[in-house]
Amino acid sequence: MIPPVIPIFPLPSVVLFPNVLLPLHIFEPRYRQMLADALAGDRVIGMVLLQAGWQNSYEGCPEVFPVGCAGVITHVEPLNDGRSNIVLRGLTKFRIQNEQNSRPYRLAEVEPIVERVSRSDRERLFAIRNRLEEVVLAAVSKGKRERQFPPDIPDEDLVNALAQYLELEPLERQALLESDGVVARAKMLLELLEMKVIVDRAPGDERVH
């Protein structure tokens, strides 16, 4: 479980998923303070995606999507100039209820969104995982299946890792994060990947410009 109030780190292209690792570079003064405070406390930071138009008020409080994912700091590499490289491990989704302005960085009152996986969910996930492997491996190995994902990775962790690490648009990742549970996320991810495969295989535009 995550604290009821957590610092949030808004970025324009980063979405964190539960139980997935995310490397980050911390350099702005306000986020250096955020990191120092997190390390002195519970080490939890909430990642949220900035909404369109964030450039107009980045130094203030631009709009963010209300659903994000909290992560715990697992690794810190302080640099000589005060910057830091860190690694977050995703914990759980949350919904922002309200924001506070008591610190230089943004603090949010959050409600956790727990994604439970039932026995029937696991059966459906297993079937979707097989298809996901086929689609992903076909794209990266041109149809050959010498490589497979490690079988000891739980299905839900594989789905979340693919959602975070595959080449997707930020809004696509956000939609995947907001999906109602990991089964819905797996289905949406499969549909996205199958659509991209179809587009990649479409004949090129033969028109002369």
What is the percentage of the chain residues whose pLDDT exceeds 70? Answer: 87
Q: What is the pLDDT of residues 48-95, one digit of tens each?
A: 999 887 667 667 788 999 999 999 999 999 999 989 999 999 999 999
For the record, the structure tokens of 179 come out as: 């999906």
pLDDT digits (tens, 9 = 90+) for 182-191: 999 999 999 9
Q: Given this model, what pLDDT does residue 57 score?
A: 64
Tens of pLDDT, residues 161-182? 999 999 899 999 999 999 999 9
Q: Where in the chain is the domain with CATH 2.30.130.40?
A: 5-113
CA dihedral 104, 75, 154, 122 (to 10 degrees): -20
Lowest mean pLDDT, pick from 9-23, 103-117, 137-151:
137-151
> Residue 144 above 70 pLDDT?
no
The separation between the first and the last C-alpha atoms of the chain, rounded to the nearest angstrom, is 57
181, 93 contact by CB (below 8 A): no
Q: What is the DSSP letter of 64?
A: B
- Distance set, CA 92 to CA 45, 130, 155, 157, 195 (Å): 11, 25, 16, 12, 28
Contact call for residues 64 and 53 (beta carbons, < 8 A): no
How far is Cα 194 from Cα 20, in angstroms, rounded to an integer?
A: 23
Query: Model-level pTM?
Result: 0.88
Q: Which CATH superfamily is domain 5-113 in?
A: LON domain-like (2.30.130.40)
Angle CA 61–67–70, to nearest 5: 90
User: What number is the average pLDDT over the span 140-155?
Assistant: 68
pLDDT band (50, 70, 90) for residue 142: low
Q: Cβ(94)–Cβ(69) under 8 Å?
A: yes
